[in-house]
Amino acid sequence: MAILAINQGPPVRTAPFAAWPVFDAAEEAALLKVLRGGKWWRFAFGQGVELSEPEQGEQSEVVLFQKEFAGYHECRYGVAAANGTGTLEIGIRALDFAIGDEIIIPAYTYVACATCVLQNNLVPIFVDVEADTYNLDPARIEEAITPRTRAIMVVHFGGQVADMDRILAIAAKHRLAVIEDAAHAHGCAWKGKKAGSFGLFSSFSFQASKNMTSGEGGILCTNDQALAVECDSLLWAGRRVGRPWYEFHRLGWNYRMTEFQAAILRCQLRRLDEQIECRARNAAYLTEQLQRIEGLRPLVADARCTRHGYHIYIFRYDEARLGLKRERFLKALAAEGIPAFSGYTFPLYKNPMFLEKKFINGAFPLGSAYHADLDYRKFAALCPVAERAAASEALWLPQNVLLGPRSDMDDIVAAIQKVLEHKNEIP
Ligand SMILES: Cc1ncc(COP(=O)(O)O)c(C=O)c1O
């Protein structure tokens, strides 16, 4: 009986997968430079030519990083921030929508996509994702558009770029803004054009698990100068370039990135291309192997996504066909040394926050009577793909497992095969 590791048999793998984060002497030197330089915060306020206090002979790491990262993503402006939740929030605030306006977001995503909407007294409206990519389903967007809809937020989920051809066309037809949550999509591309360069603005995250990280951090990218200047002001407490330091022009916040974060991120950006290629090679091989196993189907990599970041490697598990609950399968797989997990176990709208409408001051949406009757339970019937993905289908592998040698992929496949072959022995 002791074949499965969960039954005290020998595990397929005891060695750890590739470590994350990745750093070397470059990050160490960059951090020491900031440390010894004594300028630990971003000391130059504003965008490019509008810098408030350019210091001769010195340049802020944050300002340099903004230029480098935005330029790499085919955007003219970058606004670096404390995290990717903050960049989504200030980007939306800068658009000045009216109380109770609606923003379409995917049902299968991280909570920040909704909180950034609610923090602006706007209403998130959930739309289902595609069965093959788990990205916002263009075929389901139009039915969710109302006279109050102002924007469509796409999330390039797991590093696969959403169908920008169809989404941009729908947005243009209905005169809606497109917001790209590119928290998973550093360096990714759709038909050769970088993710983050399609929408009115995009938002990236540098939180610890992300494909580029400084522990925490975020950046907003845009080609709209006025928007960039406004966002800069919003994360500097509402200050304006060229105006007195203690003069505040609108409700802002402190979402500034530190010089330490930017120093690390400038190094991480230089590693990005090589890491993307490594993940893509391993992901292609893993997909080839996993699709041969009955009951497993990796998400489909759309050929128009010419650069997939594989922030999460996702494959689909057919619980009914395999006759084994996903959670029991995962437990046995973990014992074999494979760090797969189920990700979200219910779609975003099923969080207590939505079911109980625990929003700002308990009201929803602040000052707007129109949505008083909106019951987020209704989205369960509208989002069958997100429901299934969360409840039983999705399996996630974190990006760092794709940064090792090909033999690591063989271990993943061998462990899965072993668990499925011996599924009747799982206690
Ligand atoms: C899809 C998505 N959007 C936004 C965020 C928010 O980023 P941050 O953690 O930097 O606030 C995350 C982070 O996990 C995310 O996964």
Joined tokens for residue 256: 């500034």
Which residues 6+ apart lie within 8 Å of 285 measured at CB?
A: 406, 409
Q: What is the mean pLDDT of the chain?
A: 94
- pLDDT band of residue 1 (cuts 50, 70, 90) is low
Nearest CA to ligand 1 atom 7: 84
CA nearest ligand 1 atom 16, residue: 110
Rg for the chain (alpha carbons), in Å?
22
The answer to whether the beta carbons of residues 339 and 398 sit under 8 Å apart is yes
Cα gap 88→394, rounded to integer Å:
26
- Does a cis peptide bond (omega within 30 degrees of 0) precede residue 16? no
Model confidence at 42, pLDDT cuts 50, 70, 90, reads confident
Q: Averaged over 153-167, what is the pLDDT?
A: 98
Q: What is the DSSP letter of 413?
A: H
Nearest to 124 by CA among 186, 181, 163, 166: 181
Q: Position 225: which residue type?
A: Q
Of 373 and 90, more confident? 90
Q: Does ligand 1 come within 6 angstroms of the Cβ of 85?
A: yes
How are beta strands 177-181 and 149-155 bridged, if at all?
A: parallel
Each residue's pLDDT tens digit, 241-258: 888 888 999 999 999 999
Mean pLDDT to the nearest integer, 109-129 = 96
Per-residue buried b or exposed e for 55-79, using 16+ beta carbons within 10 Å of the residue's own CB: eeeeebbbbebbbbbbebbebbbbb
> Which residue among 39, 67, 191, 210 is the active-site one?
210
Position 171 confidence tier, pLDDT thresholds 50, 70, 90? very high
Q: Over 70: is that where the pLDDT of 200 sits?
A: yes
The closest-lying atom of ligand 1 relative to the alpha carbon of residue 88 is: 4
Q: What is the pLDDT of residue 360?
A: 79
What is the atom index within ligand 1 of the atom nearest the CA of 205? Answer: 10
**Strand 123-127 versus strand 296-298 pairing type:** unpaired
How far, CA to CA in Å, does 321 sit from each of 293, 300, 390, 393? 12, 20, 17, 11
Atom of ligand 1 nearest to the CA of 83: 10
The H-or-E segment that residue 398 falls in is strand 394-398
Rounded to whole angstroms, the Cα distance separating 270 from 243 reads: 36
Domain at 25-269: CATH code: 3.40.640.10
113 CB less than 6 Å from ligand 1?
yes
288 CA to centre of ligand 1 in angstroms: 29
- Asked whether the predicted pLDDT for residue 53 surpasses 50, the reply is no
Angle, vertex CA 156, rays to CA 344 and CA 158, nearest 5: 50
* Domain edges within the chain: 25-269
Residue 65 Cβ inside 6 Å of ligand 1? The answer reads: no
210 is catalytic: yes
- Percentage of the residues of the chain whose pLDDT score is greater than 90: 88
Tell me which residue has tokens 């054009």. Answer: 193
